[in-house]
Amino acid sequence: MAEITGSGPAGGVGNVRADYLALVRRRRIYSGLLLVVFVLLFVGGFRIVEDRNAGGLLNGLPQILDYPAGLLSEAWARRDRLPGHIATHFRALLETVNIALVSTLLGSLAGTVLALFSTRGLAPWPRLIPLFRRLSDLFRAVPEIVIALVLIFVLGGGPVPAMIAIAIHTAGAQGKLFSEVNENADLRPVEGLASVGAAWSQRMWLGIFPQVLPNYFSYGLLRLEVNVRASAILGFVGAGGIGYELRNAMTWGPGRFDEAASVFLLLFVTIVVVDQISSSTRAHLTGGRRP
């Protein structure tokens, strides 16, 4: 900067032009190199995977539809039995949705606390922020299925281990997302409340929650969608719910495909319904805050 301001007004524009064009050239070289590296990595990675695969992607592609085709054709042939199957599996579906609801609620509450403790400017003990951050990293990093398997080993099969496993993962995920929401919150109301002598919990309740709750709720609904899927999958390892039924139906293989199809149908409809409800509610929540 110094040489530009130092030179006379006549030479000034010329210098600025030359310097800026040099800067532009440098940036273009960098982004060009980056693009080349990206393409090389992508092509190289694909070829390595292709070499190590037993079948190979291109050979496997035609077979990708074999299982769904078998499932659909068999289910269609015995479509009269579908309503009966759906009625039998409905209880299991309720269990799955219940696991998702309870774990989302508990996990989000724990995530709220984790988030407040790990947000700069809001945490009551700023020195412990890294600790709470790593804690929510840990909760988030361990897959639900691992926690569930350990808990099933300890507590036995059933919905409770699944619920605890998903809640722990949810707490970690929400702790991260909520603390990002908190970072965008306006700190002026908190300062205003601090100036009248409010306690930390009062400052959070009155100064932060009104700002962040719509976003929390929106992330909570998003998590509910994710958790419905997660609790269905946990059924596969013996945690009850519709996943358990699906595993049984699928391991029977051909001959019981109509039952598997009915479970798939139930799961699909549930996920669509939860998705629709949550996206319309979230649109309403975020749309309502337009200035």
Partner 1 sequence: MLLSVENVTRVFGTNRAVDNVSFALDRPVFLGIIGRSGAGKSTLLRMINRLTDASAGRILFEGTDVLALKGAAARAWQSQCAMIFQQFNLVPRLDVVSNVLHGTLNRRSTLATVFSLWPRADIHRAIDILERLGIAEQAPKRAEALSGGQQQRVAIARALMQDPKVILADEPIASLDPMNAQVVMDTLRRIHDEDGRTVIANLHTLDTARRYCDRVIGMRAGRIVFDGTPEQLTTGVARDIYGADASFSEHATSTAIEDLPDRAAAYA
Closest CA to 190 of 177, 181, 201: 201
Q: CA 199, CA 264: separation in Å to the nearest integer?
A: 51
Q: CA 79, CA 81: separation in Å to the nearest integer?
A: 5
Does the footprint of partner 1 cover residue 283 (CB under 8 A)? no
Does the footprint of partner 1 cover residue 150 (CB under 8 A)? no
Nearer to partner 1, 7 or 280 (CB): 7
- Pull the structure tokens for residue 251: 């391991």
Binding string, residues 17-56; x marks residues near partner 1 by CB under 8 A: x-xxx-xx--xx--x-------------------------
What SS3 state is found at 1?
A: coil
Does the footprint of partner 1 cover residue 183 (CB under 8 A)? no
SS (H, E, C) 160-190: HHHHHHHHHHHHHHHHHHHHHHHHCCCCHHH
Closest CA to 166 of 216, 214, 213, 225: 225
According to CB under 8 A, which one of 16, 113, 128, 272 is a site residue for partner 1? 16
Nearer to partner 1, 24 or 77 (CB): 24
Closest CA to 116 of 167, 181, 170: 181
According to CB under 8 A, which one of 11, 12, 45, 253 is a site residue for partner 1? 12
How many of the chain's residues bind partner 1 (CB under 8 A)?
15
**Shortest reach from residue 13's CB to partner 1, in Å:** 5
Q: Are 263 and 245 in contact (CB under 8 A)?
A: yes
Q: Which stretch binds partner 1 (CB under 8 A): 11-19, 39-47, 85-93, 114-122?
A: 11-19
Nearer to partner 1, 1 or 54 (CB): 1
Nearer to partner 1, 9 or 62 (CB): 9
**Shortest reach from residue 36's CB to partner 1, in Å:** 13
Q: Which stretch binds partner 1 (CB under 8 A): 13-21, 181-189, 207-215, 235-243?
A: 13-21
Q: Are 84 and 257 in contact (CB under 8 A)?
A: no
Q: CA 38, CA 120: separation in Å to the nearest integer?
A: 35
Nearer to partner 1, 12 or 84 (CB): 12
Give the interface with partner 1 as residue ranges (CB under 8 A).
Answer: 1, 4-5, 12-13, 16-17, 19-21, 23-24, 27-28, 31
